[in-house]
Amino acid sequence: MPDTINIEANLRHDLADIGYGETSRSTMTVDLSAIRSNYRKLQALAPRSSCGAVVKADAYGLGAGRIAPFLAHLGCSHFFVADVEEGIAIRSVLPSSAKIYVLHGAMPGMEPAAEQHDLLPILNSRQQLDAWLRHCRRRNRALPAGIHVDTGLSRLGFSMEELQTLAENEQGLSELTTALFMSQLACAEWKSEVSLQQLYRFRKLTHLFPKAMLSLSNSAGLFAGRQFHFDLVRPGGGIFGFSTSDHPCFKPSQVVSLRTQIIQCRELRLGDAIGYYQSYKVRRRMRVATASIGYGDGFPRILGNRGHVFICGTRVPIVGFVSMNLMTIDVTELPDSWTAPGTLVDLICPEQTVEDLASAANMLSDELTTGIGRRCRRRYVQC
Ligand SMILES: *Cc1c(COP(=O)(O)O)cnc(C)c1O
């Protein structure tokens, strides 16, 4: 166990700093310096390409409003969001030169909003293409957009045949100002035949879009080799510190940490039980602390009676079921002075990275961070 005296001094010293002492809420801390370091490393992997950033789902739950302008400041000028609403949300915090691509395209009727906020829809279907071209004619402007071709994910995008037919029959495609031609890899994490087949399919169509930027790779695609990089790479998770490859040259810096605090502490005896349905039966004298986070904040319920948290670097088991905004932890082994109300409890920290916590819960790192709710405040630090 670490040196008690020093630790007690550090246990709550930054409470005032981050606004604790007023409410019991939890804090996700986002290290912007780590984002900078990850972005630069990814950029260096594809030196001949532009390095964009995928900031959909509120930058994977980290807060696109702060992260997108920070990336723009680092020189990033291509941003990807899921839908028009997300695009509108970041338009006002980005330089007007920044390109914002909308991966889902514009839903019917949203074309004017996309134009008004200077967003580039990625057109995925004949319907989206026709609607965009109708809007362009109405406005008498050649508004740029992207085209997504499906090369094997079967999720979004034109089929290859559909695009070829459109091109051959001069149906619309020639009228479109295509700024970006893209596809998405299905399993770039593994050096696979599938990726090579997708690469081959993508290449077969690039000649249809001689003026467009070409883009194929997400974070994992960056490690698949130079031939996958094209003009623009589109990392998301790699920027936010999630490991997307076991490549020896890339160890992402941890960006996210998550902390809550103790509300109350109690003594329990043989015969007591903990939490809903009394799933944890107490078999000895125990001290149990109640901490202020639960599944309603996005903490995985499956970690009840299974997961761990940390107090001053010491591992503490979660006991009983996780409830909506609370969970109970076994602090029997800790000195009393470490468990006073307001004591910080680390959930994501150097001892337990996002990836560790996610995999304990059988989740992906981005599945975990996108689920961390709005009750949990975001705090941004930079060194
Ligand atoms: C989410 C997404 C990305 C980013 O993926 P990561 O694996 O997080 O790097 C890139 N392109 C598309 C089309 C996406 O949907």
Same fold, 4-27+255-381 and 46-233: no
Domain ranges of the chain: 4-27+255-381, 46-233
Enclosing H/E stretch for 274: strand 273-274
Domain 4-27+255-381: homologous superfamily in CATH? Lyase, Ornithine Decarboxylase; Chain A, domain 1 (2.40.37.10)
User: Catalytic annotation on 276?
Assistant: yes
Average pLDDT, integer, range 209-222: 96
Query: Token pair of 183, please?
Result: 């596809």
Average pLDDT, integer, range 258-283: 97
- Is it true that domain 46-233 has CATH number 3.10.180.10? no
Helix 160-168 × helix 126-139 angle, to 10°: 40
Average pLDDT, integer, range 214-240: 96
Q: Which residues surround ligand 1 with Cβ inside 6 Å? A: 54, 56, 103, 184, 218-220, 234-238, 244
Average pLDDT, integer, range 147-168: 96
Ligand 1 atom having least distance to the Cα of 237: 8
pLDDT top residue among 286 and 246: 286
Residues with Cβ within 8 Å of 79's Cβ and at least 6 positions away in sequence, in order, are: 52, 53, 54, 55, 68, 71, 72, 90, 94, 98, 99, 100, 101
Q: Which of 35, 51, 81, 218 to mutate to test the pocket of ligand 1 (most atoms within 8 A of CB)?
A: 218
**Which pLDDT band, with edges at 50, 70 and 90, does 231 fall under?**
very high
pLDDT top residue among 9 and 296: 296
DSSP code for 205: H
Out of 56, 101, 280, 295, the active site residue is 56
Enclosing H/E stretch for 344: strand 344-348
Q: Is the pLDDT of residue 2 over 60?
A: no
Residues with Cβ within 8 Å of 59's Cβ and at least 6 positions away in sequence, in order, are: 67, 68, 240
Is 260:288 a contact under the CB 8 Å cutoff?
no
pTM of the full structure: 0.93
Lowest mean pLDDT among 177-181, 240-244, 291-295: 240-244
